[in-house]
Amino acid sequence: MTDNKTILINPVTRIEGHAKISIHLDDAGEVRDAQFHVVEFRGFEKFCEGRYFAEMCQITPRTCGICPVSHLLASAKACDAILGVPIPKAAKLLRELMHMGQVSQSHALSFFHLSAPDMLLGFDSDPLQRNVMGLIAQQPAIAVKGIRLRKFGQEIIKATGGRKIHADFPVPGGVNKALTVAERDTLLQGLPEAIEYAQFALKLLKDYHAQHREEVESFANFESMYLGLVQPDGALELYDGALRLCDKAGNIVEDQMAGAKYLDYVAECSEDFSYMKFPYYKKMGYPGGMYRVGPLARLNVCSHIATPLANAELQVWRAHGRVQSSTFYYHWARLIETLYALERAGQLLNDPDITSTDIMVNAAPKNREGVGVIEAPRGVLIHHYWVDAGGRIEKVNLIVATGHNNLAMNQAVTSVAKKYVKANRLQEGMLNRVEAAIRCYDPCLSCATHAVGKMPMVIELKNVAGEVVDRVSRSPA
Amino acid sequence: MSAKRKVTIGTIWLSGCSGCHMSFLDLDERLVELAQHADILFSPIMDIKFADMPEVDVGIVEGCVNNEDQEHELKKLRSKCKILIALGDCAVMGNVPAMRNQFKLEDCLQRAYVETEGTVIGEVPEHPVVPKLLPKARPLQEVVKVDVSVPGCPPDADTIWYALTELLAGRTPKWDERNFKYD
Amino acid sequence: MTAPKKITVTIDGQQCEGTAGQTILDIASAHQIYIPTLCYLKHLSPWGGCRMCIVEVSGSNRLVPSCATPAADGSTVTTNSGRLQGLRKATLELLFSERNHVCPICPMNKGDCDLQNQAYRSGLDHIELPYLYPALPMDVSGRYFGIDHNRCILCTRCVRACEDMEGVHTLDVAYRGQRNLVIVDLNTTFGESTTCTSCGACVASCPTGALFDKSQAFRGKLNSCQTVKTTCTECPVGCGLLVFTKEDRIVEVFGDLESPVSHGHLCRKGRYETWAEPKPRLTQPLIKGQPATWEAALQYLRAAYAKAPHWQTGLLVSPRVTNETAAALVKLADKFERVGVRVAPNEAALCVQPERAEESLKRMENADAFILVGVDLPRHQGVLAAKVRTTVRKHGAKLLIFGCPPSDLDHYAAVTGHAVSLERAFWKKVSDLLLTVRHPVLLYGPEAMSPVGTTVLEKLIKAFELNQVGQPPVLVPVPTSTNSFGAVAAGLEPVEDVADWIADKPLTFLPILVGDEPDGGARWLRDRQVKSLLEQIECVVVQAAYRSPLTDLATVALPAPAWNEKAGTVTNFEGRELPVRPVLPARGRDEAQVWEELLA
């Protein structure tokens, strides 16, 4: 009789959103495979039907509280496409500035608050301390830098949009708040310190990398295609641009794909074990058409970065190979992007039109559908709306960043589980590594299911019949 | 002389967007001050997992109740804490996730998992691991007794700080037109 | 008539004086005593249904709505006891539980919503009732505004505004109890409504985000905007506008409740076409279609003017010009062979009519008969049409229509004479009808000055003379053009046929001061032959705020200020001088100032 066992990690913590991981063992007690279950669903793609399209800029950010700005801006771009008129230059600058603030904030959060505790306090350290509060207690100098770096990103968001989380700022046709000279100057003053902290974080990471080479290089290291936005000349792009798909070696498979045509090359599959769907590259079918998005993918597809400090760091990153596939490199890529975002924010702040009040055009909708594509901190985000002549939403389709990574996350978890989890020695630190694989993707599961969920806090070893065979408790000793 | 026992806090998030927890993190340097008076025993932004949920003085819940697992967890937290705080509009009044209540649940699932334009291989997820959705998304007070409500979408850090410091001082937060908002 | 009786009421311990017939709320407000309200608007008939303004009156257990209850002399009123506070809070809880009030996604969020503000005032951090989550629709088929029933509190302000101010009664409440719904016509949509005139009074009266303007939604919080009061220049009625601005853009335009002309009402033109219709702006001078600097353009014009023989120069100006610009142009008249202001056909005769009916709108409210001759009120002077409708509906005034295009007013008319009939039977009927009338108001437009029109007027005057009992009719001339009265009074010569005027003598130099006409002067080209005539003139200068085929055709096009960038006065149909105030920085130069500078 087979005696398959399942290890359940429940909940996956220090990620944004709700998930469970189940690890399936074979008879020999080795890991057969692992699944990443997203357990929540809210239904944005349905309950937005019937709303006025301009409200989408307010509704969709409620998908996610970490990256609401991504939804704010992707939504606004989709609405602009429905209007069918170009928006004023100052509006574009301001939206991109807000985006740079949110990329900085979100990446800082991901690194300092969610992932750094593992690195700085150790994967096997006391779980009661292995979190942001523990970091504050044990390494306050570092923790404060992280807090302040995130804070600066939030300040950019607040100065542009009027509020840190869920600002009502972009509208179809532009934005509704201009940046005052005083606000612009205050941000410019805070920029050098933020850049310093980003570089500090990079050094931390590079030091860790140097000390843990073998582990880092092999951590959830598997090949895949990569998808990201690029500028016309191939430079890294986070706000506008067009899509580029590269293969595992970095060769361009599809280039300068218009975001509006995403249905030509992306399809989705629903599986019964997760509320998050599985997007894949249509031409290669499911699941062979797996690709990754996000910082790792973006740095793999771009030819260079258009700002000097970040570009220099990119060259260091690429010293180990043109394409990086170890999941750990996500963290490193995230910090390089933070540097780019801050430098780009500086460029935008120094543009004389950034304080202009010509920030909005008024127009009636010309088109019946619109697509908005942006690089959220976690990857490509697509909003697609269909409207009637009066602007009533008829249909909505959302493909979020973390969704694109679903296949990859499942693979990452399987890969790590196979390496670290031995059923006869079930250590807390090993399970944490499996979770850490997920954390590298910095999944925004609120976005990915356009929903959220929660579960009881138990780790159980169950057999196929669902009977609890063993229980691992993580209560304090 | 014995030190004053730190207040224990536990937070969970249900059907929300995590914006309220992010707003909590917007306390920034005040987090350090909070750490001196309170221990956060569990939270989605921390890493601790317990075999069973420990007892805490204050339970903070973001998000409304959307599926069976969440209902179970909320009731569990209610039984483990002395003061339950509903944090944010979703927890207090339903808010955006409750907009699905105007539609049939099956229609929502069909649209998301079968009908969307890019979905080539579609089925509605049904697996023991993924929790069953409740007929309607509900605010917390329709499931458990709530002691303190902190509205906002999200409530800003100052509002959260006010609620926490009042509770730490042994008082109930008093809301008037100056210190809370629904937006 | 005896003066109204004075009364005294004690409100919250304070002695308050008022007059008999005033409501408790009226007297309280006059003494700065605050009572919360939701369904009450001062300029609409009271309803008393929301139960927020309930007060305690001594000697009775019943709580009364102060907005709809006359104050009793000598009574004692309590406005804010613990009992009242609790009941008001309960009312708010019922409202929030009944429908889907999702504040974060609403355009009125953050300060513009009366419901939200009342809830904050009451400290309503949560409600004790279960939410009903009904499935309610949203209608955004209207061009300028939409309605979200999820946010509606059934206060009926919109229903009352539509009836009391516009008089079309497009909105009403259908079904019963929890299924109550505000409906359009016989439960259709705004887009398909056959009665809605898009006057926007409903939206302006809505306390929540249920009714909202599409061009304002999410574009600026009204409570954080600057406001400027100015006069609408879309027609000669001269309604008061309350304009909300933020960061150099217009966020909203409402009617100014304090306007002595319109008392807060507007028609579609003033309410929406002034700002919510995107129009291509002429932003810089053009020489033969190519962008140029002001210096280059003025230099070109100086040379062209110098070259042109004086007798071949002329200047035409739009009747939308302000009185001040008109006066300035009159001073420059000797620099051109001929100067004229374009007016509608037959309007010149109207301009020189001696009557100017002061307080016309007030007198219309008291009329028991309207006689319309040669006007198109619903299309051109919407607020006057509204006044006719509401007076007819409320007081049963009679309506007689002569020589007007078909419109919804025909439904109310006792007599409609579209083709003039000289039949005795017809005029006997008219005459008999007019004998029963006591306070008639006769509104006549340019078409009434035509030969046919004057015949009708004569017959009507004769009929009125037979009436020994009633007052003589108030004669109200209603021009079509915004400030033809002021322009002609300033001394500009009215020009009814532009083609004739141009062709009369050869022209080499012709400025056309289109100004802020919304179509950029395109309508000038629709008159027969004007286009080909203009093409033969060596130098045509067009000064306009908006681009059009006319500005495209011009030798030199110069940006002029838009309606919201001008300062000055216009003279309305009553003969009143009304202020036009700048709302935003000018993006063009005043038409007359350009010539003063050029020809100095």
C276–A contact, CB cutoff 8 A: yes
Q: Is the alpha carbon torsion for C98, C99, C103, C104 positive or negative? A: positive
Under 8 Å CB pairs connecting chains B and C tally to 66
Q: What residues form DSSP beta bridges with A281?
A: A266
Contact assessment for residue A399 and residue A279, using Cβ atoms and an 8 Å cutoff = yes
Q: Is the pLDDT of residue A462 over 60?
A: no
Interface partners of chain C (CB pairs < 8 Å, 3 or more) are A, B
A471 interaction partners in chain B (CB closer than 8 Å)? 51
Quick one: which of C88, C104, C96 has its CA closest to C131? C96
Tell me the pLDDT band of A457, cut-offs 50, 70 and 90: very low
Quick one: angle between helices B157-168 and B30-37, nearest 10?
Answer: 20
- For C297-338, the pLDDT digits (tens) are 999 999 999 999 999 999 999 999 999 999 999 999 999 999
Taking an 8 Å cut-off on Cβ atoms, the answer to whether B19 and A399 are in contact is no
Q: Which residues contact residue A324 at a Cβ distance below 8 angstroms, ignoring those fewer than 6 apart?
A: A296, A299, A300, A317, A318, A332, A333
Taking an 8 Å cut-off on Cβ atoms, the answer to whether B153 and C119 are in contact is no
The pLDDT tens digits along chain B (183 residues) read 345 688 999 999 999 999 999 899 888 889 888 988 998 888 877 655 555 789 999 999 999 999 898 999 999 999 999 999 999 999 999 999 999 999 888 888 877 777 777 777 677 777 766 788 899 999 999 999 999 999 999 999 999 999 999 999 999 999 988 889 998
A384–B contact, CB cutoff 8 A: yes
B100, B126, B131: residue with CB nearest A47? B100
Taking an 8 Å cut-off on Cβ atoms, the answer to whether B66 and A40 are in contact is yes
B99, B136, B141: residue with CB nearest C126? B141
pLDDT of residue A474: 32
A431–C contact, CB cutoff 8 A: no
B95, B142, B175: residue with CB nearest C102? B95
pLDDT of residue B161: 95
Taking an 8 Å cut-off on Cβ atoms, the answer to whether B18 and A277 are in contact is no
Taking an 8 Å cut-off on Cβ atoms, the answer to whether B154 and A165 are in contact is yes
Nearest CA in chain A to B131: A39
pLDDT of residue C135: 93
The pLDDT tens digits along chain C (600 residues) read 678 899 999 999 999 999 999 999 999 999 999 999 999 999 999 999 999 999 999 999 999 999 999 999 999 999 999 999 999 999 999 999 999 999 999 999 999 999 999 999 999 999 999 999 999 999 999 999 999 999 999 999 999 999 999 999 999 999 998 899 999 999 999 999 999 999 999 999 999 999 999 999 999 999 999 999 999 999 999 999 999 999 999 999 999 999 999 999 999 999 999 999 989 999 999 999 999 999 999 999 999 999 999 999 999 999 999 999 999 999 999 999 999 999 999 999 998 877 777 788 889 999 999 999 999 999 999 999 999 999 999 999 999 999 999 999 999 999 888 655 667 888 888 989 999 999 999 999 999 999 888 989 988 998 898 888 888 999 999 999 999 999 999 999 999 999 999 999 899 999 999 999 999 999 999 887 899 999 999 999 999 999 999 999 999 999 999 999 999 999 999 999 999 999 999 999 999 999 999 987
Nearest CA in chain A to C251: A176
Pairing state of beta strands B56-62 and B7-13?
A: parallel
A460–C contact, CB cutoff 8 A: no
A144–B contact, CB cutoff 8 A: yes
Architecture of domain C356-477: 3-Layer(aba) Sandwich (3.40)
How far apart CA B79 and CA B144 sit, in angstroms, is 10
Least confident of A408-417, A440-449, B8-17, B133-142: A440-449
Task: Give CA B142 to chain center in angstroms.
Answer: 14
C121 interaction partners in chain B (CB closer than 8 Å)? 177
- Round the CA-based radius of gyration of chain B to a whole number and report it: 18
Taking an 8 Å cut-off on Cβ atoms, the answer to whether A395 and B45 are in contact is no
C121–B contact, CB cutoff 8 A: yes
Q: Position of tokens 């359940």?
A: A8
A57–C contact, CB cutoff 8 A: yes
- For C485-501, the pLDDT digits (tens) are 999 999 999 999 999 99
Supply C155's token pair: 């206060």
Under 8 Å CB pairs connecting chains A and B tally to 270
How far apart CA C314 and CA A295 sit, in angstroms, is 68
Interface partners of chain A (CB pairs < 8 Å, 3 or more) are B, C
Contact assessment for residue C238 and residue A195, using Cβ atoms and an 8 Å cutoff = no
A18–B contact, CB cutoff 8 A: yes
- Round the CA-based radius of gyration of chain A to a whole number and report it: 22
Contact assessment for residue A152 and residue A345, using Cβ atoms and an 8 Å cutoff = no
Task: Reply yes or no on domain C286-343+483-598 having CATH 2.60.40.1080.
Answer: no
Q: Best residue in A53, A176, A183, A385 to probe C by mutation, most C CBs within 10 Å?
A: A176
Q: Which residues contact residue C179 at a Cβ distance below 8 angstroms, ignoring those fewer than 6 apart?
A: none
The CATH number of C6-80, from 3.10.450.350, 3.90.25.10, 3.10.20.740, 3.40.50.970, is 3.10.20.740
Tell me the pLDDT band of A429, cut-offs 50, 70 and 90: low
Domain boundaries, chain C: 6-80, 106-273, 286-343+483-598, 356-477
pLDDT of residue C113: 97
Contact assessment for residue C3 and residue C19, using Cβ atoms and an 8 Å cutoff = no
C34–B contact, CB cutoff 8 A: no
A454–B contact, CB cutoff 8 A: yes
Tell me the pLDDT band of A123, cut-offs 50, 70 and 90: low
- Most confident of the following: A274-283, A314-323, A464-473: A314-323
C345–A contact, CB cutoff 8 A: no
Quick one: angle between helices A308-317 and A181-211, nearest 10?
Answer: 20
pLDDT of residue C547: 96
Task: Reply yes or no on domain C106-273 having CATH 3.30.70.20.
Answer: yes
pLDDT of residue A125: 67
> Distances from the Cα of A398 to the Cαs of A402, B84, C443, in angstroms?
12, 34, 58
Q: Which residues contact residue A457 at a Cβ distance below 8 angstroms, ignoring those fewer than 6 apart?
A: A10, A11, B42, B49, B50, B51, B52, B53
pLDDT of residue C38: 97
Q: Is the pLDDT of residue A467 over 90?
A: no
Q: Which residues contact residue B107 at a Cβ distance below 8 angstroms, ignoring those fewer than 6 apart?
A: A46
Taking an 8 Å cut-off on Cβ atoms, the answer to whether C126 and B136 are in contact is no
Amino acid at site C412: Y
Pairing state of beta strands A266-269 and A379-387?
A: unpaired
Domain boundaries, chain B: 7-100+135-168
How far apart CA C341 and CA A118 sit, in angstroms, is 81
C105, C121, C126: residue with CB nearest B93? C126
Instruction: Say if residue C600 is exposed, middle or buried (CB neighbours under 10 Å; 0-12, 13-18, 19+).
Output: exposed
B48 interaction partners in chain A (CB closer than 8 Å)? 13, 127-128, 131, 474
Class of CATH domain B7-100+135-168? alpha beta
Using DSSP, how many helices (H) and how many strands (E) does chain B show?
6, 8
Taking an 8 Å cut-off on Cβ atoms, the answer to whether C126 and B142 are in contact is no
- For A195-217, the pLDDT digits (tens) are 999 999 999 888 888 888 887 77
Q: Is the pLDDT of residue A118 over 90?
A: no
Q: Position of tokens 């005052």?
A: A180
Nearest CA in chain C to B142: C130
Q: Is the pLDDT of residue A445 over 70?
A: no
Torsion from C-alpha of A164, A169, A174, A179, nearest 10 degrees: -60
Q: Is the pLDDT of residue A468 over 70?
A: no
Q: Is the pLDDT of residue A471 over 80?
A: no
Q: Is C100 helix (H, G, I), strand (E, B) or coil?
A: coil
- Give the full edge-to-edge strand order of the sheet including A31-38: A31-38, A19-25, A5-9, A459-463, A468-472
Torsion from C-alpha of B101, B103, B104, B107, nearest 10 degrees: -130
C105 interaction partners in chain B (CB closer than 8 Å)? 96
C104 interaction partners in chain B (CB closer than 8 Å)? 89, 95-96, 153, 182-183
Taking an 8 Å cut-off on Cβ atoms, the answer to whether B181 and C110 are in contact is yes
How far apart CA C335 and CA C310 sit, in angstroms, is 8
Q: Which residues contact residue C60 at a Cβ distance below 8 angstroms, ignoring those fewer than 6 apart?
A: none
pLDDT of residue A30: 73
Structure pTM?
0.91
Contact assessment for residue C100 and residue C133, using Cβ atoms and an 8 Å cutoff = yes
Instruction: Say if residue A353 is exposed, middle or buried (CB neighbours under 10 Å; 0-12, 13-18, 19+).
Output: middle
Quick one: which of A374, A448, A376, A446 has its CA closest to A405? A448
Q: Which residues contact residue B162 at a Cβ distance below 8 angstroms, ignoring those fewer than 6 apart?
A: B173, B179
A34–B contact, CB cutoff 8 A: no
Per-residue b/e over A176-202, b at no fewer than 16 CB within 10 Å? bbbbeeebbeebeebbeebbebbbbbb
Per-residue b/e over B133-164, b at no fewer than 16 CB within 10 Å? bbebbbbbbebbebbbbbbbbbbbbebbbbbb
Q: What residues form DSSP beta bridges with A229?
A: A243
Higher pLDDT, C555 or A116: C555
Give the DSSP H/E element, type plus range, for residue A155. helix A140-161
B12, B46, B66: residue with CB nearest A42? B66
Q: Best residue in B156, B180, B182 to probe C by mutation, most C CBs within 10 Å?
A: B182
- Determine how many CB atoms are found less than 10 A away from the CB of residue C295: 9
A432 interaction partners in chain B (CB closer than 8 Å)? 47
Contact assessment for residue A39 and residue B131, using Cβ atoms and an 8 Å cutoff = yes
Beta strand ranges found along chain B (DSSP E): 7-13, 38-42, 56-62, 65-67, 81-87, 119-121, 133-138, 148-150
Q: Which residues contact residue A182 at a Cβ distance below 8 angstroms, ignoring those fewer than 6 apart?
A: none
- For A332-371, the pLDDT digits (tens) are 999 999 999 999 999 999 999 999 999 999 998 999 999 9
How close A18 comes to chain B (CA, Å)? 9
Nearest CA in chain C to B176: C123
Q: Is the pLDDT of residue A46 over 50?
A: yes
Q: Position of tokens 């900085």?
A: A104
A259–B contact, CB cutoff 8 A: no
Q: Position of tokens 């006066």?
A: C327
Q: Position of tokens 């909300």?
A: C244
A166 interaction partners in chain C (CB closer than 8 Å)? 104
- Determine how many CB atoms are found less than 10 A away from the CB of residue C48: 18
Please list the alpha-helical segments (H only) found in A114-139.
Answer: 116-121, 132-138
Nearest CA in chain C to A173: C219
Taking an 8 Å cut-off on Cβ atoms, the answer to whether B99 and C102 are in contact is yes
Taking an 8 Å cut-off on Cβ atoms, the answer to whether A62 and C217 are in contact is no
Amino acid at site A261: K
> Distances from the Cα of A293 to the Cαs of A275, A290, B156, in angstroms?
19, 10, 32
**Domains in chain A, ordered, with CATH?**
5-42+410-472 (no CATH), 44-404 (1.10.645.10)
B92, B180, B183: residue with CB nearest C109? B183
How close A321 comes to chain B (CA, Å)? 33
Scanning C73-102 for CB atoms below 8 A from B yields 96, 100, 102
